[in-house]
Amino acid sequence: MAVTLDQVKDLREQTGAGMADCKKALDESNGDMQGAIEFLRKRGAASAAKRSDRTTNEGMIITKSSADGKKAVIVEINCETDFVARNEEFVNFAETIASTVLSHNPASEEALLSVDIGGKKLGDLMNEMLAKFSERIILKRYELLEAKSGAVVEYIHTGSKLGVLLEVTSAPTTDALRAQMRDVAMQVAAMSPSFVRREEVDNATLEKEKEIYMQQAIQQGKNPEIAAKVAQGRVEKYYQEFCLVEQTYVKDSGKTVQDVLKEMSTVAGATIDVVRFRRYFLGEGASNN
């Protein structure tokens, strides 16, 4: 019988094995779920059945950049316990995933797990990890950023549970500029902006915020005309809170991030601005711009 994508996903949820392995197991078992689970067990692709009820709240965020600083990757890999997350083999495996994404830029997770690593597919290495630790281990998400003309700066917070990639328009020419760019990436980590600049805020988000602010002002006794002005003022505060370049700089409260970028541009003799960022916090959804 023909195996469906839903069957493959269901088996993957139950076992934690890779998509390609789940497809093969279902093919070999003619679509029988229990038979596929047994097939994966024998291969070490699933060290325990029915892992879908196990939570994967631990793990790590890892970043890695190319030698020229033009591209970088950010990866989140999850497991069940902090004991495994801190294990050297788990950390090395996460490093391998990041290096593979950086060098191959695979179009899908299936393609990623099919990459040959020293004679073994990355998916086989994943299976070995599953068999060794008897935990549910999943590659939650990953992304590669490549700068068209500038550079991509990386930042990992202590503990490897929060990471940032920051694309800037000009590559750092000195160690001091590189450190300042990393500080801006750290700003993203600390202050969790949703956008780079106010022009990126979509109309739906903006109108929703205005509506909330209007209702709050009216409930406080303001008439509609005054409430509209109050709402507009609060929208400005929204920009200052959620747009990176308008945020107060965490290392100097007398400046905004835009002020710091202008200072960096003067020193570099070239415009330094933020193009986009990626912020991964362990266990939460992606925050992308």
Q: Is 22 helix (H, G, I), strand (E, B) or coil?
A: helix
- Domain 54-145, CATH 3.40.30.10 — does that match? no
pLDDT value at residue 16: 66
- Domain at 202-242: CATH architecture: Orthogonal Bundle (1.10)
**Cβ proximity of 142 and 73 under 8 Å:** yes
- As annotated, the residues of the chain forming the CATH 3.30.479.20 domain(s) are 54-145, 147-201+243-289
- As annotated, the residues of the chain forming the CATH 1.10.286.20 domain(s) are 202-242
pLDDT value at residue 49: 46
* Helix (H) or strand (E) segment spanning residue 88: helix 88-104
Cα pseudo-dihedral 167, 145, 152, 171, rounded to 10: -80
CATH of 147-201+243-289 given 3.40.50.450, 3.40.50.2020, 3.40.50.2000, 3.30.479.20: 3.30.479.20
What pTM was computed for the model?
0.78
| Non-local CB neighbours of 62 within 8 Å, separated by 6+ positions | 74, 75, 77, 94, 95, 97, 98, 156, 160, 163
User: Can you read off the two tokens belonging to residue 181?
Assistant: 């760019």
User: pLDDT digit string (tens) for 208-225?
Assistant: 887 887 788 788 877 777
Task: Could you list the beta-strand ranges (E) of the chain.
Answer: 58-65, 71-79, 116-117, 120-121, 138-146, 151-156, 162-168, 274-281, 287-288
User: Can you read off the two tokens belonging to residue 274?
Assistant: 């933020």
**Cβ proximity of 201 and 181 under 8 Å:** no
- As annotated, the residues of the chain forming the CATH 1.10.8.10 domain(s) are 1-39
pLDDT value at residue 13: 76
CATH of domain 1-39: 1.10.8.10
How do the pLDDT tens digits run along the chain, 289 residues long?
688 988 988 887 777 677 887 888 899 999 998 888 878 766 665 544 445 556 788 999 999 999 999 999 999 999 999 999 999 999 999 999 999 999 999 999 999 999 999 998 998 888 888 877 878 888 999 999 999 899 999 999 999 999 999 999 999 999 999 999 999 999 999 999 999 999 999 988 888 887 887 788 788 877 777 877 877 778 888 899 999 999 999 999 999 999 999 999 999 999 999 999 999 999 886 555 6
